[in-house]
Amino acid sequence: MYRSLNRSVTVRALALVLVCASAVACTLTTDTSSPSTMVKTSGDQQTAAVNTVLPNPFEVVVVNQFGEPLKDVTVNWTITSGGGTLSGTPTLTGDGGVASVTYTTGPTAGTAIISAQVHGLFPVTFTVTIT
Q: How far is CA 110 from CA 25, 42, 44, in A?
A: 55, 21, 15
Please give the residue that has the higher pLDDT: either 72 or 31: 72
- Residue among 92, 28, 106 at smallest CA distance from 62: 92
Q: Provide the CATH topology of domain 37-130.
A: Immunoglobulin-like (2.60.40)
The mean per-residue pLDDT over the stretch 87-107 comes to 96
> Residue 91 pLDDT > 80, yes or no?
yes
User: What's the confidence (pLDDT) of residue 33?
Assistant: 82
User: What's the confidence (pLDDT) of residue 18?
Assistant: 45
User: What's the confidence (pLDDT) of residue 32?
Assistant: 73
From its phi and psi, is residue 65 left (phi > 0), alpha (psi between -120 and 50) or beta? alpha
| % of the chain surpassing 90 pLDDT | 74
Q: Which residue ranges make up each domain of the chain?
A: 37-130
The mean per-residue pLDDT over the stretch 39-45 comes to 97
pTM of the predicted structure, to 2 decimals: 0.74
